[in-house]
Structure 1
Amino acid sequence: MAEGFPLTLPGMKIGLLGGSFDPAHAGHVHITEMALRRFGLDRVWWLVSPGNPLKAHGPAPLPDRIAEARRIMDDPRVIVTGIEQALGTRMTADTIAALRRHYPQVRFVWLMGADNLVQFDKWDRWQEIAASVPIGVIARPGWRMPARFSKTARVLGKMRLPESKARLLAQSKPPVWAMINVPMSRLSSSAIRAERRRAAVKEEQRR
């Protein structure tokens, strides 16, 4: 496989966690560990995106975000990758389609927090995404109920696996999704960026 494309074995169950990871933090580590265990995954790939079309301001340089993510995530089952840049994709639907072409024998699962499920119907070709791979949703503070009553949850209501069968998600034919409740972390990349900006301003004021 070309450089930038992780090696796999046939039949592997791989979760895809996409985002800007600007920066990666312990909350990302936590939901990844929960996803590995609760969805019965063999691997999780962190797809560090070149840029998020839904965000007004661009993230830090991709190599810096990848390096920081690799420092914080040291589980050998988790691969931090900038594969979207190698694929030349920006939209999730295009990324998933390209990965399925490159890895036809892998069982991919798209992972997201419950907050993303709430806005999932605004994603480009969201129904195409749901029809192509199973979706694993991880609860986040304050988002459990909004996620359960979101447009996506209503449209895909009959395709939801009960939480007790979440380990069957990767083997299930899409459209299918499951949401797991886990011990929750309130860390967020935006809060960390804000704290870093405050620290930088204080440092500048001291000079």
Structure 2
Amino acid sequence: MGKRIGLFFGSFNPVHVGHLIIANYMAHYTTLDEVWFVVSPQNPFKTKKSLANMYDRLEMVNLAIKDSDRLRASDIEFSLPQPSYTIDTLVYLKERYPDHDFVLIMGEDNLAGFQKWKNADIILRDYNILVYPRPSYKAGELIAHPAVTRTDTPQMELSSTAIRKAIQAGQSVQFMTPDTVIDFIEKKGLYSR
């Protein structure tokens, strides 16, 4: 029996409560059955040096969602050619899981620049996109596209960058990310230098 799977792409460097709230909202308040956190090995637009090891980032997602029955962590892009483009991942997932219906999850900020993506027109033709609002961002004209649905996901002004900076400065990040993730970061010495 096929499921509707929401694909939430990101570096998750580290995963935080903002990501978790978005994923949980999408899994419970939309037509999706599950949400998969697709951990990116390397975003074509980000430099590699600021990224924690991809297996550490995957493990932090697994630790953060271990109590959820509708959220999954996916390392699907780890084995695909680098840098990974969303269209290639979608085609690969469709071949591997032909019964599932895959839906993209993205923020308004990403939707605004979506036309620059590789094969954006094909993605819009073949896939639905669930958009979550981002404070101080405009979604642009694509928000009116029939493949795009804007959701009422709660908004949060929290970023992985802010968490990394706080850790570097020796400040508390309690409640910004689950305790299991904080323990893992401390044990591994991530982001502290």
TM above 0.5 = yes
SS of the aligned residue for 1:16 comes to strand
Residue of structure 1 in register with 2:7 after alignment? 16
Aligned to 1:135, which of 129, 141, 165?
A: 129
Residue of structure 2 in register with 1:191 after alignment? 162
CA contact (8 A) 2:22 2:154 kept: no
Amino acid paired to 1:110: L
Aligned to 2:22, which of 25, 28, 31?
A: 31
CA deviations over 1:137-167 (Å, ceiling 9, x no partner): 0112222xx11xx1433xxx351xxxxxxxx
Aligned to 2:71, which of 78, 85, 88?
A: 78
CA deviations over 1:5-38 (Å, ceiling 9, x no partner): xxxxx32111000111111011110001111122
Matches within 5 A, 1:5-154: 10-58=1-49, 59-74=51-66, 75-88=68-81, 90-143=84-137, 146-147=138-139, 150-153=140-143
Residue of structure 1 in register with 2:181 after alignment? none
Distance (Å, rounded) in 2 between the aligned partners of 1:120 and 1:46? 19
Q: Greater CA deviation, 93-102 or 79-88?
A: 79-88
CA contact (8 A) 1:121 1:151 kept: no
Amino acid paired to 1:41: L
CA contact (8 A) 2:11 2:41 kept: yes
RMSD: 1.7
SS of the aligned residue for 1:72 comes to helix
Amino acid paired to 1:179: R
**Structure 2 spans left out of the alignment, 5+ residues:** 172-193
Change in CA separation of 1:158 and 1:128 when aligned onto 2, cut-off 3 Å: closer
Larger Rg: 1
Distance (Å, rounded) in 1 between the aligned partners of 2:145 and 2:40? 31
SS of the aligned residue for 1:199 comes to coil
Amino acid paired to 2:105: L
Structure 1 residue 72, shift from structure 2 partner: 1.4
> How many percent identity over aligned positions?
35
SS of the aligned residue for 2:105 comes to strand
CA contact (8 A) 1:19 1:49 kept: yes
For these two proteins, the number of residue pairs brought into alignment is 168
SS of the aligned residue for 1:34 comes to helix
Structure showing the higher helix proportion among its residues: 1
SS of the aligned residue for 1:52 comes to coil
Q: TM-score under structure 1 normalisation?
A: 0.75
CA contact (8 A) 2:24 2:71 kept: no
Q: TM-score under structure 2 normalisation?
A: 0.80
Structure 1 residue 132, shift from structure 2 partner: 2.1
